[in-house]
Chain A
Amino acid sequence: MTALTLLAADPDKFTPPTPQELFELAPIAGIGWLTKPVLLAILSSIIVIAFCWSAFSKPKLVPRGIQNVAEIGYTFVRDQVARPFLGKDADRWMGLLLTLFFLIWVWNLMGVVPVLQFPVASHIAFPAILALTIYVLKIYLGIKHQGAIGYFKNMMFPPGVPKAMYILLSPLEFASNMILAPFTHAVRLFANMFAGHMLLAFFSLVGFWFLFEQLTPLGAPIGVLGVVMTIVFTALELLIQFLQAFLFAMLAAMYIGGALHPEH
């Protein structure tokens, strides 16, 4: 609000974009729930399903075209995410991990697609849904495979620690596994996309403001710098978008693996 009033009060002065301007988006066509992130989330689901369907619906022994590309994604998730944490159970969880990796990556990529330019995961509801699903699945699998008591015992009383240490360690382990893990799982993805989007918006606004809205001899170099930084940060964002999708899927595999087989 303050930014908007400031902008209104002094139209000649540069004001950086606020989170509210960037992330509080008006509903489309007057429908309350139909906002840009919602549309992009639906579009992302369609893209992921269409991509995977065209690649894997009738897979060939000798892959061609899109199947080749999708298989690179599949083997990447299998070899870098599933197998290191799940071992022989990797194949059973590939569907879920593939969903997480592809869906989050497409959500994130929406942040740099021209015109769309909004990372879905920068609204916390979307990463929270995924993190919550993994959290529930983790506890369910843990209790199923280790028993209710065994699960919490293995979590809070790891073997090979002096008995006195449990006074300190057990509450910490409980908090870390039951409260912090799902929270950081969701917030890590959300915060990265949120910050990335703010940086990109800030630098592109600098470029737009100083080169188009208020072109002055002194301001022009700042505008050029803004454009250059936008390009550099877009490249960085592309890397972070991939890394965050990978990391989210990897943590999910780690939580599932930990629930299936307690650490010894």
Chain B
Amino acid sequence: MIKAATLLAAQEGEYNPLLPHAYELVIGTLAFAVVAFVLIKVLTPRIQKTLAERTEAIEGGIRRAEEAQAEAQALQQQYREQLAEARQEAARLREEAREQAAQLKAELREEAQAEARRIIEAAHAQIEADRQQAFAQLRTEIGRLSTELAGRIVGESLEDEARQRRTIDRFLDELEASSQQAVR
């Protein structure tokens, strides 16, 4: 290196570019020191602080956006669940109403049938009573007729007991037949 320097110096006369000037070393040191001081002590901390704040702001913004999105999704999920629940509830209520209606209808029908049955039975009972009454009336009628018949028989000569009996029987048969017709 020294050889090269001396060679260079010999070739170019006095000038040797590898030998620094003392005053340039001093000025260079000062020029560098001043810039280094200002940049290291003052300016770099400031820009680093700002860059950190910017990163924080951006990351904070992203985080907040993510939180908001998560919240919105949770809310949407909740609404969806509530809606489904409400629909289910409505369906259940409809089903219940339908069942109740069916039950009510069945009950009404049952009641109506019972009422009809009751009316029919009452009618039957009435008819039976009427029949009984008619029958009772008939019986009194038969008594009266019998008395009339007995008068007639007494009035007539008792020729033949057998004939008498036949007459009575015939009469009773006729009576029977007519009374039955009357009842019907």
User: A: which residues have CB within 8 A of B?
Assistant: 1-2, 18-20, 23-24, 32-33, 35, 37-38, 41-42, 44-45, 48-49, 52-53, 55-61, 70-71, 74, 91, 94-96, 98-99, 102-103, 122-126, 128-130, 133, 183, 187, 190, 194
Contact A95 B24 (CB under 8 A): no
Q: Which listed residue (A94, A124, A133) contacts B17, Cβ 8 A?
A: A124
Q: Which residues of B contact A95 (CB under 8 A)?
A: 36, 39-41, 43-45
Can you name 7 A-B pairs with beta carbons within 8 Å? A19-B15, A33-B27, A35-B24, A99-B32, A99-B39, A103-B31, A194-B17
Q: Which listed residue (A56, A122, A133) contacts B47, Cβ 8 A?
A: A56
Q: Which residues of A contact B49 (CB under 8 A)?
A: 59
Q: Which residues of B contact A45 (CB under 8 A)?
A: 31-32, 34-35
Q: Within residues 30 to 85 of chain B, which ones have a CB less than 8 A from any CB in chain A?
A: 31-32, 34-36, 38-51, 53-54, 57
How distant is B32 from chain A, measured CB to nearest CB, in Å? Answer: 6
Contact A20 B24 (CB under 8 A): no
User: B: which residues have CB within 8 A of A?
Assistant: 1, 12-15, 17-21, 23-29, 31-32, 34-36, 38-51, 53-54, 57
Q: Which residues of B contact A58 (CB under 8 A)?
A: 46
Q: Which residues of A contact B54 (CB under 8 A)?
A: 61
Contact A1 B50 (CB under 8 A): no
Contact A44 B57 (CB under 8 A): no
Contact A49 B15 (CB under 8 A): no
Given contacts A53-B43, A124-B18, A133-B32, contact A94 B48 (CB under 8 A): yes
Contact A52 B38 (CB under 8 A): yes
How distant is A24 from chain B, measured CB to nearest CB, in Å? Answer: 5
Given contacts A19-B17, A61-B53, A95-B36, contact A41 B28 (CB under 8 A): yes
Q: Which listed residue (B18, B23, B32, B57) contacts A38, Cβ 8 A?
A: B23
Which has the most chain B C-beta neighbours within 10 Å: A19, A45, A103? A45
A253 to B149: give the CA distance in the assembly, Å: 159
Q: Which residues of A contact B18 (CB under 8 A)?
A: 124, 187
Contact A57 B35 (CB under 8 A): no
Q: Which residues of A contact B24 (CB under 8 A)?
A: 33, 35, 37-38, 41, 123, 125-126
Q: Which residues of B contact A23 (CB under 8 A)?
A: 15, 17
How distant is A45 from chain B, measured CB to nearest CB, in Å? Answer: 4
Contact A59 B36 (CB under 8 A): no
A96 to B105: give the CA distance in the assembly, Å: 97
Contact B35 A99 (CB under 8 A): yes
